[in-house]
Amino acid sequence: MTPSAYSAPVMDSRSTFKEDIFLGKVLFCTGGGSGICKGMTEAIMRHGANAAIIGRNLDRLTQASKELAEKTGKVCIPLQADVRQPQTLRDAVRKAIEKFGRIDFVICGAAGNFMSPIAALSENAFRTVIEIDTLGTYNTVKATISHVREAKGAYIHVSATLHYRGTPYQIHVSAAKAGVDAISNVIAVEEGPHGVRSNVLAPGFTTGTEGMRVMTGKKTNKAEGFSNPLGRFTEIQDVANAAVYLFSPAACYLTGQVIPIDGGAEHLRGDFFPYPSSVINPSSVETLLKAKI
């Protein structure tokens, strides 16, 4: 009988880390109303932190904050802001400080993505993704850095692995996420002497997220036809576990790092689509292409 390949389990961070390691700490998370960032926020809260989640859709934020508070027993407040507009972020930070008195951890997670060939991608669409991902990260850091310094806290920036190689139809996100990685590296060296750490998490294909739907059209964790040393797609919990570690005292000497959370898939990554036919004839993958910004 041919042996079956290993598939990694999905673990709860509480099986490894004490539940009170973030007691008294406060998390400020952009993009925290859904997906990966909501999952990271929940994990940090399960270990004792209170949180403020930031986004443009107040209704979604309000519902998410209610769910997070009910699941964790901690306080989560929704704060409406657009990371492209610095004043709205400064207002959100002020409200978080008024509520909690401090900000220890920041997750810069607001992002946008879609598939588009360069020929169909408008200048406005390219600029919008840069503004959300790259400028949004910078604006979030500017609005929070004095408080993170005071707390001797840490940043996590949510990136991707798309720019490690050329990825068709992803020029906008590749450029934006490369900028995010660079921002984190500079924060690490400039703010390290002030006691601030900064790292990047780069999730692979993550089930149950909009990014998974955009990139693959799939919402499953079954990895048929997908090469991954650990046998499955990334789960939100995998990214959340890495966030718990990076914010924990166990990572007190870890800064300026970019950490893919992809089960080793990047080492095996080929082309996302048939190549070169998919770039010669974009209509062959038109169900995944979208450039409406």
13, 177, 184, 248: which is the annotated catalytic residue?
Answer: 177
pLDDT digits (tens, 9 = 90+) for 153-206: 999 999 999 999 999 999 999 999 999 999 999 999 999 999 999 999 999 888
Model pLDDT, residue 212: 65
Question: Per-residue pLDDT averaged across 33-42, rounded?
Answer: 96
176 inside domain = yes
Model pLDDT, residue 211: 66
6 inside domain = no
Model pLDDT, residue 293: 41
Lowest mean pLDDT among 73-82, 245-254, 269-278: 269-278
Model pLDDT, residue 105: 98
Torsion of CA 21, 206, 60, 105, to 10 degrees: 30
Rounded Cα distance between 130 and 133, Å, is 5
Q: Which one-letter amino acid corresponds to residue 183?
A: I
231 inside domain = yes
Number of compact structural domains in the chain:
1
Domain that holds residue 72: 18-288
Residue 292, pLDDT > 50, answer no
13, 34, 116, 159: which is the annotated catalytic residue?
Answer: 159
Is residue 1 very low, low, confident or very high in pLDDT (cuts 50, 70, 90)?
low
What are φ and ψ of residue 101, in 5° steps?
A: 85, -5
Question: Per-residue pLDDT averaged across 218-238, rounded?
Answer: 74
Maximum C-alpha span of the chain: 63
pTM here is: 0.92
Rounded Cα distance between 232 and 267, Å, is 14
**Across all residues in the chain, what is the average pLDDT?**
91
Residue 79, pLDDT > 60, answer yes
CATH number for the domain harbouring residue 255: 3.40.50.720
How many CB atoms neighbour CB 283 within 10 A? 8
Rounded Cα distance between 219 and 202, Å, is 19
- Which residue in the block uniquely carries the two structure tokens 């991902």? 133
Residue 89, pLDDT > 60, answer yes
**Cβ distance 35 to 234 under 8 Å?**
no
229 inside domain = yes
Question: Per-residue pLDDT averaged across 242-256, rounded?
Answer: 98
Question: Per-residue pLDDT averaged across 109-138, rounded?
Answer: 94
5 inside domain = no
Verify whether residue 159 is a known catalytic residue: yes
**Cβ distance 183 to 228 under 8 Å?**
no
- Dihedral sign for Cα 210, 216, 218, 220, please: negative
Which of the given ranges, 126-140, 256-270, 272-286, has the highest pLDDT on average?
A: 126-140
Residue 137, pLDDT > 60, answer yes
Model pLDDT, residue 239: 97
- Left, alpha or beta for 73 (phi > 0: left; psi -120 to 50: alpha)? left
Torsion of CA 214, 218, 224, 226, to 10 degrees: 10
Quickly list H helices, the chain.
Answer: 35-46, 58-72, 86-100, 123-130, 136-151, 171-191, 210-216, 236-247, 277-280
3 inside domain = no
255 inside domain = yes
251 inside domain = yes
Residue 58, pLDDT > 80, answer yes
